[in-house]
Chain A
């Protein structure tokens, strides 16, 4: 019998029982769509993490303070005061793979402008901080080295701060706001960057010279952090090593003594986040594929019932000339058609689901071509694997008995 006739026969047989065919497909539809949705969302989430980390600069290097043991006392990292702007100058002078570097001093406090106020967090840096953090200035100007030397009372603000302090749309440039009672003049507004991978609002920020934050707000001499850019993504690791060596010397640590600082790159963060999201994707896909297995067993179950129910039809087909092979292929075809149509619907539904979810979560929508391809193959395999045994049973029926079956 020709393949075309075979498919025609199987297709007509399925059409005779549309509801059942659909219900059988449902298992496959749910299984495939959840696998597709999970894989696709997993990739979307890691893509989104990648995008955001890259937007912060993959060559970003952060030097943080770590807890330290001093004379038998463990000092928490927040109380370590050994990181200073002298370290910054040392790195700037000696490191060859570091292209720009800035100290970072954080402060939080209430921002006030007229009758409006907003809980703000302030980041103090030098004039290079803007480029290291990959901020852009939407309007106005950045502060200069001169401002840093003078501890000038100037700042740049993010969009969220502008929206909350100037809700009526006034031009914030040139306005004076107060941060913890210190008046600061807004000289620049930062372009919006949205949220970072932690869900933090990157626009809820005030950037000022670090000297201003150090002296006028916090009254400290140390810095909280150093932010630097490696000359390129490839040299990030080299730059990290350089910084470690330089700081080891400037902090006068003995060889083998634990560092009182920690140098991290964005790439490490990226790898960590990726491994977490990769693990979750695998886990969720594994769970989803269980539903695919259940769907396959559903097909087998229905095909078994079908074979028993259609014993007489099988007998008739044999009596009018169907060979055992024809019967086998017919039932196999039916299960393959069921699983393939179910699979196609499932793929479309899965893509729709992941499109909806990634649109809702503002993640990039990714169609995982391998996942779609593999799902399709899995569908066909499911049809053949779970359809084989019932089809075999149908083909092995004795036509005489099958014709008399009631």
Chain B
């Protein structure tokens, strides 16, 4: 299996006033193609910093980071932008959809920043991505006409549309109720089974059980990196008591 993400002795030091804050203190791990990894940790553990670096939004202070075999550490800002555009799909806690913009146009957005994709291809790929997340009948809906779960699905479609090597989800279920969270996790499991590599940052253990592997961070160190007894989100969804209050 080839490594999608390879991190070696990664450090990130922030200068806060005259003090140096060590957010990541030399961590190493690899994520192989087809894995579904959860990254867990309390706030302050460094997981956001790790996610920013993995997402090419930030550069490590020292150590090596390879995404899809490409070294990221010494890249310029513009090169990082291109890497984000071609290699990474972000899913955020608060969806971050453009308001007053249809689901389809929201999904098209990453391809607008990719010159190699024609208008026709952009439209086709966006429609395909929306079909993949089960929203083919809501393409022209505006974000405020969609439920939280549906908005997150649009966000996932947007992350998928550029065919990234890895999906980076940052507390993607944090704003959703249990049932919708499970539905979203079911979608992630489905995408994973289709071959997508996913890194899922969360602090909820009951969400992490749907992944294949957990990396636990504490105070800038990896304290646990172990496979998970994966549960099926679909099965969990089935045993969930049916609420009719929505």
Contacts and interface: CB of A to CB of B under 8 A. Distances in A.
B112 A1 contact: yes
Nearest to B89: A320
Contacts of A17: 100
Given A1-B115, A324-B77, A399 B98 contact: no
B43 to A, nearest CB: 13
A319 B82 CA distance: 10
Nearest to A320: B110
A319 B55 contact: yes
A312 interface: yes
A322 to B, nearest CB: 5
A322 B96 CA distance: 15
B84 interface: yes
Nearest to B106: A316
A352 interface: no
A256 B84 CA distance: 92
B211 interface: no
A1 B113 contact: yes
Given A12-B101, A400-B52, A320 B57 contact: no
Contacts of B109: 317, 320
A325 B78 contact: yes
Q: Could you say which of A312, A315, A323 has the most chain B C-beta atoms within 10 Å of its C-beta?
A: A323
Which of A1, A315, A320, A322 has most chain B Cβ within 10 Å? A320
A318 B98 CA distance: 13
Interface string A199-232: 0000000000000000000000000000000000
A321 B110 contact: yes
Contact of A319 (B90, B105, B114, B115): B90
B112 A319 contact: no
Contacts of B214: none
A321 B86 contact: yes
Interface string B99-131: 111000100011011110000000000000000
Contacts of B68: none
Interface residues of B, number: 27
Contacts of A12: 101, 105
A9 B112 CA distance: 8
A402 to B, nearest CB: 10
Given A16-B100, A316-B96, A400-B57, A323 B77 contact: yes
Contacts of B90: 319-320
Nearest to B84: A321
Contact of B84 (A8, A312, A319): A319
B196 to A, nearest CB: 17
Nearest to A9: B112
A322 B81 contact: yes
A319 B113 contact: no
A378 B112 CA distance: 30
Interface in A307-340: 312-313, 315-326
Contact of B113 (A312, A321, A324): A321
B182 interface: no
Interface in A383-405: 399-400, 403
A313 B158 CA distance: 14
A316 B85 CA distance: 11
B92 interface: yes
B168 to A, nearest CB: 9
B151 to A, nearest CB: 13
A364 to B, nearest CB: 48
Nearest to A312: B96
A322 B58 contact: no
B98 A313 contact: yes
Interface of A: 1-2, 5, 8-9, 12, 16-17, 312-313, 315-326, 399-400, 403
Given A1-B112, A400-B57, 13 more contacts: A5-B115, A313-B96, A316-B96, A319-B84, A320-B84, A320-B110, A321-B84, A323-B77, A323-B78, A323-B82, A324-B77, A324-B81, A400-B58
Interface of B: 52, 55, 57-58, 77-78, 81-82, 84-86, 90, 92, 96, 98-101, 105, 109-110, 112-115, 158, 162
11 contacts: A1-B115, A12-B101, A16-B98, A16-B99, A16-B101, A313-B96, A318-B57, A321-B113, A324-B78, A324-B81, A326-B113
